[in-house]
Amino acid sequence: SSGASDVGDASLRDAAGMPSWAFILLQDRLSTDGSFMLGDADVTHEGYVMRFVSPGFAELYGYLPSECVGLRCCACMALQTEDFLHLAKTVDMELQMVKDSIHCIQAYVVQEAIREQTDSTPGFALLLERNKDGSLIVCEVMVSTQTHPANGWRYSLCLQTRSDVSIIQILEAGLAGGGYAELVRDRHERMIARLAASHIDVSAAHLYAEEKIMDVWAGMFAELNIDW
């Protein structure tokens, strides 16, 4: 039963001395409500190079790790030309307005990613993204960049969750005077509350990420037949 499973989970967690957030991530509990990704910290307008994606990432975006690890985020999730045309027809908005909105959102995301790397607070943004089957989804993304204490690798931990913000809502917010920054602040506060309710400490999640990174590095060097 689920009750017996919960008791077993608690016993395993206590025996391992794990904080609750680490156990949740370790058991991939984010897979039902969001996902996380580890990538190189050198972000560009095409996103981060993905080095590890959780099962939740595959559920959210439809990609297997083998299909996306090693690529930059936008290679998988960025909108295509046909998406702009489809959006203009679907939401009854002029094509140029759709393009302007997406451009504004992308500019904010890049600015937030750069700020996050020089600040101590995680970055946050709302994104309109494309999954593998071509469906468009609105996602809330939180990013935190750190340096791994063992190997000095600068990496970014990205937490993603599907948002209940509608496509028309984010497009209208992205227009001049549409209030995108205010919408982001509101959703950021709500995301923090949801993660806290699930006992996931975003700031402490790097401890789990650092362990996962060692596995990632071991795999990368193994493929190159290099001992490390």
Q: Give the pTM.
A: 0.76
Phi, psi dihedrals of residue 125, rounded to the nearest 5°: -155, 160
Phi, psi at 147, each rounded to 5°: -110, 125
Structure tokens at 212: 């996962």
Provide CB contacts within 8 A for 21, sequence distance 6+. 199, 200, 201, 204, 205, 208
Select the more confidently predicted residue: 211 or 204.
Answer: 211
**Cβ density class 68-103: b for 16+ within 10 Å, e for less:** bbebbbbebbbbeeebeeebbeebebeeebbebbbe
Residues 6+ apart with CB under 8 A from 206: 144, 146, 157
Average pLDDT over residues 23-47: 68
Q: Identify whether the C-beta of residue 104 lies closer than 8 Å to the C-beta of residue 180.
A: yes
pLDDT at 222: 58
Helix (H/G/I), strand (E/B), else coil: 226: coil
Enumerate domains of the chain plus CATH numbers.
Answer: 19-223 (3.30.450.20)
Model confidence pLDDT, tens digit, residues 93-144 = 999 999 999 999 999 998 888 888 887 778 899 999 999 999 999 999 988 8
